[in-house]
Amino acid sequence: MSISSHNVNERCRKLSVLCLAGSVRFGQPHIKKFALALLIIAGCTASLIMLNHGGKSARMQGKAFVLARERFPAYEVMKTGDVYSLWQERRVHGRIVVHLGRFLHFMEAGHSSGGPPRIAAIVADHEHFTIERTSYRDFLWVAFQTNIIRELYTVLPPTDFKERFGLTQAQKEVVTYEYGSPRVFSTKLPSVAEPVLLNIDASFFASTDPAPLLDDLLQSGLQADVVTICLAEDNPDVTSLDRQKARDFTNLLSAHADIVDYKPSPPLSKAAQ
């Protein structure tokens, strides 16, 4: 939760009172040291609060909607790479992403197979991450590498969750870290305080139907400023039935959202940029 400048001033005022109290308690020789220490603490506290507030403000792009109470825009996209294109066009960065689907889309560059979550190699140069090179195998990994994602919640169908992590007992979530940034895997929609980027992949409908998912979504309390329904036509492991269920979900969702048929803009050449 962000903290207003009024609250910062109030905290600094309280620290000033402590300075006076310290003067009385410790005597005149200790006044300067005690006051200096408290002033340093007050300055650091105010700086951290302001940086936190500024960082959160910088992450917001456009109006955020409470999905349960407001009509909101939702984008139907054809390919997983189109989700990444939309995020780029909206210039989002440092955001929380909630992704619903059977696949992690986190295959790091240079690997040809999936498997358990892995720590990707640090990438210093982001210029080679073009949309032409981004695919259904890695678009979430690329979004992490290019600072679009700061936290990732992957909601998996229960059967896939159990099989992927080899769980032998009831467990609600698994948490790993990508250079200190959390990746949370679960079977339920998360409770998140700030607006998210929400992506619903057609693969998720292999284990669920449109109506129950819509009920869960509207009851979740989630806020979002970008919502996408991805038909995943570039992923050969997604079936035509999954895609049809995704379209049915979009039709149901249209009672609560304005559906946009998203087509990515053609990439600019370096000369045009």
pLDDT tens digits along 222-235: 999 999 999 999 99
Q: What angle do CA 265, 102, 163 make, to 5 degrees?
A: 155
CB atoms within 10 A of CB 198: 26
Is the pLDDT score of 184 beyond 70?
yes
Mean pLDDT of the chain: 80
Question: Phi/psi class of residue 227: alpha, beta or left (left: φ > 0; alpha: ψ in -120 to 50)?
Answer: beta
Residue 262 pLDDT more than 90? Answer: yes
| Contact of 72 with 258, CB cutoff 8 Å | yes
Q: Could you list the beta-strand ranges (E) of 27-156.
A: 65-66, 72-77, 95-100, 149-155
The CA distances from residue 137 to 63, 107, 133, in Å, are 30, 6, 10
Which tokens belong to 236?
Answer: 């050969």
pLDDT of 141 > 50? The answer is yes
More confident residue, 94 or 114: 94
* Top mean-pLDDT range of 4-18, 32-46, 155-169, 222-236: 222-236
Ranges of each domain in the chain = 5-58, 62-261
The pLDDT, as a whole number, for residue 76 is 98
Pair 144, 197: CB distance under 8 Å: no
If you average pLDDT over residues 252-266, what whole number do you get?
94
d(CA 19, CA 38): 7
* Token pair belonging to 95: 């955001």
Cα dist from 183 to 10, 45, 114, whole Å: 36, 28, 16
- State the Cα–Cα distance between residues 216 and 189, nearest whole angstrom: 8
Q: The pTM is what?
A: 0.73
- Ranking 115-119, 154-158, 172-176 by mean pLDDT, the lowest is 115-119
Mean pLDDT on 176-184: 91
Tokens of 98: 């909630």
Which amino acid is residue 24, in one-letter code? Answer: V
Give yes or no for a contact between 97 and 140, defined as CB atoms under 8 angstroms apart.
yes
At 74-111, the pLDDT tens digits run 999 999 999 999 999 999 999 999 999 999 999 865 54
**How confident is residue 271, by pLDDT bands cut at 50, 70 and 90?**
very low
In terms of Cα–Cα distance, which of 197, 236, 239, 235 is closest to 100? 197
